[in-house]
Amino acid sequence: MSDNNILIREIEPQDNAQMEQVIRAAFPEFDIPLTGTAYEDVETTQMYESYQGEREVYFVLVDGDKVLGGAGIKQLKNFDLSICELQKMYFLPEARGKGLGKKLFQKCLDQAKAFGFEKCYLESASQLKAAIHIYELYGFKHLEGPLGGTGHYSCGIWMIKEL
């Protein structure tokens, strides 16, 4: 993997199967529950189709035709229209620790601002310590409980940031 060949682009239909594998592989790796998480979301099997509405986008990190990870922005379900949610940010082990996640994360936040959102919300699992540390560095603040209706009852970390 050469960092020079890696790019961030919007998800395409042919990326669905690879992105689903990236997402699902993280759960046993980090010992995250399968129920009440993105693992069992219908969206996980159809990522391209799930981000085609207004004010929503899913970006993938690719090396040639190999999907290394991704993250998306979407209106927070059943909540204030000015708040978006950072969703399904997962990476293969080979893509971690190189600053690629930060680039993708920043692209998502920039896009959220461009969409006109005022705040960005996210949910995570306590096992994802590196990701939580990055969220904190970017100014996300911890909340006491969840917002909206994501259905991810097994996520124990809730954070929000002013955009």
Domain-by-domain residue ranges, the chain? 3-117
Model confidence, pTM:
0.94
DSSP letter for 89, please: E
The pLDDT, as a whole number, for residue 5 is: 85
What DSSP element (H or E) covers 17? helix 16-30
CATH architecture of 3-117: 3-Layer(aba) Sandwich (3.40)
* Of 65, 74, 151, 89, the residue nearest 120 (C-alpha): 74
- pLDDT one digit per residue (tens) for the chain, 163 residues: 556 789 999 999 999 999 999 999 999 999 988 888 888 888 999 999 999 999 999 999 999 999 999 999 999 999 989 999 999 999 999 999 999 989 999 999 999 999 999 999 999 999 998 889 999 999 999 999 999 988 887 889 999 999 9
Is residue 80 classed as helix, strand or coil in its secondary structure?
coil
The pLDDT, as a whole number, for residue 3 is: 62
Phi-psi category of residue 78: left, alpha or beta, with phi > 0 → left and psi -120 to 50 → alpha: left
The pLDDT, as a whole number, for residue 162 is: 97
The pLDDT, as a whole number, for residue 149 is: 86
